[in-house]
Amino acid sequence: MALIRVDRDKCDRDGACVEACPLGILALDEEKGPVTRPGSAMLCIGCGHCVAVCPHGALDNVKNPLQSQVPFERAELPDARAAFTFLRARRSVRRYLDRPVPRETTRQLLEIARFAPSGHNSQGLSYLAVEGREAIGEMTVLVTEWMRRLIREKHPIARSFHMEAIVRFCESGDDRILRNAPLVIVAMAPKAVEQLAQVSTCLALEYVELYAPALGLGTCWAGYAQACAREYAPLQKYLKLPADRAVTGMLMAGFPKYHYHRLPERNPLDLVWFDEMRSAPSGP
């Protein structure tokens, strides 16, 4: 089956699809319009750029078909000010209402993760949703056990990450590991590409974080539990992680107990223009 099909009556041969292809698979024939370069079809990563960039709907690609793509107009995007405020308003939420997140809401939340960028359009992430105080409380117990072991061994990260204090809080009933969240999202990737998947996971879960407020949810990265799940067999066993999968990210989620009314400041932008740096005197 051919990689692409072109409706020649719609195609105006402007070459946009050719230039949009990240791997240079397409070429422009003056008569036929876009064609696949000989021997290059196997290189297609199915990103769909060639189909999406055509304003006329003239091109179809079997790896990302025209019929599955949603029509979109740039006018639907927020303006610069609204986008800036939206991004600045993101906050990490660590206090949640004692209210479960409906599974349909969780599914909707994670749908957006599918559309985050990934290297070479690899995608490949999967997710485990852990629900309820009992199950998540057991996760906290296991992470606390792992922390105690690191403290006994005087592991450098035990001091760097204040694990003694975290354990004391948990022992007093104040969960500073998973924050009594009603939902924990565990991102996983094939072990064979675990290192490469780290960036893809960060991007995917950041999409989740940014989308969550639109569903009335708040999120926060679960760094302690994430680190534990990557190396502590008892937690891996409790989560029933597939043998061929590695944990690459973890988020807490739930309905926020509090809402923020101001946008905190951050450090000033640290920016250097290369041409100015290059022309500046070097050294004393």
User: Quick check: 209 pLDDT over 70?
Assistant: yes
Euclidean distance between CA atoms 89 and 132, whole angstroms: 28
Place 284 in a pLDDT band, splitting at 50, 70 and 90: low
Of the candidates 5, 12, 7, 34, the one whose C-alpha atom is nearest the C-alpha of residue 21 is 34
Rounded CA gap, 158 and 168, in Å? 13
Q: pLDDT averaged over the chain?
A: 94
Please report the pLDDT score of residue 129 as a whole number: 98
Percent residues over pLDDT 90 in the chain: 88
Q: Which domains does the chain have, with CATH numbers?
A: 4-68 (3.30.70.20), 90-137+179-254 (3.40.109.10)
pLDDT over 70 at 283, yes or no: no
Reported as a single tens digit per residue, the pLDDT across 119-160 is 888 889 999 999 999 999 999 999 999 999 999 999 999 999
Task: Report how far residue 261's alpha carbon sits from residue 206's, in angstroms, rounded to the nearest whole number.
Answer: 22
pLDDT on residue 74: 83
Q: Which single residue is written with the structure tokens 């003694």?
A: 164
Across the range 259-264, mean pLDDT stands at 95
